[in-house]
Amino acid sequence: MFRWGQTLCIALNRHISSVDSICVTQLQKNFSSCTIMANKFKLPARYGAGEKSVWVEYIQLAAEYKPAVNLGQGFPDYHAPDHVLKALSKAALSENPLANQYTRGFGHPKLVQSIGKLYSPLISRDLDPQNEILITVGAYEALYSAILGYVDEGDEVIVIEPFFDCYDFMIKCAGGVPRFIPLKQKKTSGTITSADWVLDEKELAGLFNSKTKMIIVNTPHNPLGKVFTMEELTFIANLCKKHNVLCLSDEVYEWMVYEPKKHIRMATLPDMWERTITVGSAGKTFSVTGWKIGWAYANPKLMRNLQVVHQNCVYTCCTPIQEAISEALEYELARRDTSDYYMKSLAREIQPKRDFLIKALTENGFNPTIPEAGYFVVADWTKLADKIDLSKESDQYKDYRFTKKFAKEVGVLTIPPSAFYSKEHKHLGENYARFCFIKKDENLALTEKLLKEWNNKKSKS
């Protein structure tokens, strides 16, 4: 019996070995074929390794853990002005069938006219709606068209940190080389404002060279809320003129500046109209981020490159939404000299929200930077380090570990600011979390309640 079983096993093993040999050969062929395909169809190098963005990661985090309050992404959780929403309904239901068809590629005629009327007195020149304004799919595409339209292989672009994370990607996608310079705190204790975050002038001047094509200036700044001063902008402008460099001025938070600060437009500085591309946003202007309409304005020679990128990318933008934004702008322009003018009242509306959140954060262990503009607060959380166990969070950077644990434990979702720094400077953002305060008052009140409950619980344990 034993010998018969042994013989059977040997026979089976020989058969299996033969089958295995065939399978291995086939697997090797398949693997080789897959490797060839993978090499040919891999993600183009200009997209890096296809890294997941902080937005994708934290939207997933919110979906998984369902925090009570989402102060992560920058958008309101309440309605836009009533006349803005009605304008879209009116546009979509227009008796004119062309209202829902393609419109002019570089911008709906009515909208570029309205934007011209909006900005002409602000920059002290008559904007030519046909040649100096481009309507884009959000400010995002305006940035894309400007960067892809001017940055060539090996060109250097100066980026001020922290920065809107798409800048870095777009520069690299164009074949350019980002050169980073961080804003540095000149004050680290007591009451800190965004004005306490400054550029090192010597360091900035040292980045300009013959390869420098562009500098991106985000004022008012996201996420710090810094409003660059005339002195700071003049210093940057003089470097641009000295080295023949373009300035891409991202001014999407232009209407959210808290008194007594004033927004200064780079294009209005001496001799800067000839080298400045300014970006604006309907989403930020009217609190309708989902409408995804933005714009750029610049002199016609500069605008040409953006138009080429735009016409070969998206070609045109949504007609009824452009019509609605034009209607909304005309409504506001008619009351431009009144206190109800939305571009003036918006900052007054959200400043109490800012002050409420600053107070709640300060009373519960954070050290926030008080923003001069925008709707974000960057807050230092390091005084809470002994109250929150980050050991089970596996992320490389501390702010990722903190914000994830904070969302799970406290129920408040925030964003890690190291996402807005280059790899070599990510450590500068690790001690902070970014909160968005353009939210319903009841959600800000809930945030305060959750912070107090968590803080009190941790203080007793």
For residue 22, give every residue at least 6 positions away whose Cβ sits within 8 Å of its Cβ, in sequence order, or none.
none
The answer to whether the pTM exceeds 0.85 is yes
Q: Is the sign of the CA dihedral 57, 63, 65, 66 positive or negative?
A: positive
Mean pLDDT of 117-138: 98
Longest dimension (CA), the chain: 106
Q: What is the pLDDT of residues 177-195, one digit of tens each?
A: 999 999 999 988 889 999 9
Angle between helices 109-123 and 319-333 (to 10 degrees): 40
In this structure, the strands spanning 294-297 and 412-413 are unpaired
- pLDDT value for 26: 64
At residue 45 the predicted structure's pLDDT band, cuts being 50, 70 and 90, is confident
pLDDT at 37: 66
Rounded to the nearest 10 degrees, the angle between the axes of helix 300-311 and helix 138-150 is 110
DSSP H or E run through 311: helix 300-311
113 three-state secondary structure? helix
What digits encode the pLDDT tens for the residues 208-241? 999 999 999 999 999 999 999 999 999 999 999 9
How many CB atoms within 10 Å of residue 455? 17
How sure is the predictor about 39, in pLDDT bands with cuts at 50, 70 and 90? Answer: confident
CA distance 216 to 69: 33
Q: Judge whether 280 and 268 are in contact, CB under 8 Å.
A: no
Q: State phi, psi for 29 to the nearest 5 degrees.
A: -65, -45
Torsion angle (degrees, nearest 10) of CA 148, 160, 61, 432: 180
